[in-house]
Structure 1
Amino acid sequence: MYKYFLKRIFDLMLALIALPFFLIILLIIGPIIYFQDRGSIFYNAPRLGKDGKVFKMYKFRSMKMNALDLRNEDGSTFNSEDDPRLTKIGKFIRKTSLDETPQLLNIIKGDMSIIGPRPDLPEFIDVFTDYERRKLNVRPGITGYNQAYFRNSNTLKDKFSNDVYYVESVSLLLDLKIFFRTVFGVLKRENVYISNENERSKNIL
């Protein structure tokens, strides 16, 4: 009942309640992003959604225009506090997770949920094992089990495994735990950036 019906109702209600706060953030952050390098405010990233459908995920742009696409050895996105591709405001919105707030629009459109596996790049559809594909059985989320308990500190394969664990365990109680754990982690700014590959393997389920 919750997984297939109530979860979507709660998503819509909370997204609509939060929408005015997003508009305030947009009015403040948007001009700063633009005037730092005269570039676009938003970064529209193609991502895998429910059942493998590709959609455009909205984010505030945190990198300089036409920045190179850097990846780690496992194919995950390179993420470092000293990344020269980040703008000054980009470092701030990354640390505070404000860059993710435009995804409220994705929730309203039905592409995403508040809680769920973080959406992957479209090319990952050919990387998933049959087991890992189960993460596509639900809408991806602004935050999820990985982000709440590990942020950016585990390996890509561990993330996939954790995502499937979430999909098979979805409940209102689990979503509430993830939500409040995420808020706590954002306030503490834990594991926002990864400095080396060893740190990615510190935490295990």
Structure 2
Amino acid sequence: MSQPKVLIAFYSRSGVTEALANAVAEGARASGAEVRLRRARELVSAEVMALAPGWAEQAAALNAKYEAPTEADAEWADAIIFGTPTRFGAVTSELKAYIDSLGGLWFQGKLNGKAGSVFGSSSTPHGGNESTLISLYNPLAHLGLIIVPLGYADPSLFKSGTPYGASAVSGNPPAPPTADDLEVANFQGRRVAFVARALKAAHITETKAS
């Protein structure tokens, strides 16, 4: 059977969520998955970005490394993993705009049965990681994805992360995710790839039977 295909669509400004995304990708690839890493784009004007020192420069550097996520990426994937910093306890507008763009695929039922999972970061402890991840479960359900939480299925979850998805607390100024944070993210990639492979096999079997 062909390897599962995993789309990791994320938004990152300082590089913290990007680091988690890459650890998720490493875990998925280690489980034999083909991975596409995509960064959602800014929605605000250059004038607004200029109000936060370094934002425009960081965005340009990240956009040079990663393509923007597209509808075609979501259709291609067997699993979709969303990653976002928390903004006032919820998903960033940049990533939400990408999720909202998937309405056409939703209407056609083309996302039904794919695996879905989430990860995120905040700048302060109790700064919204869990509420952000749980809030992302709502669009996953509406899109028809089969939600893959982490639970406590790996020893790494007793050191870091959440049962809802990998996470990191960066501080201010932001520091990179810890080794424990990245271990959870790596496990998430492996777990989602495993579930995506099983779902893909079940779909192939069901299709042949019908």
After TM superposition, the score normalised by the length of structure 1 is 0.31
Larger relative CO (CA 8 A, sep 6+): 1 or 2? 2
After TM superposition, the score normalised by the length of structure 2 is 0.30
Greater strand proportion: 2
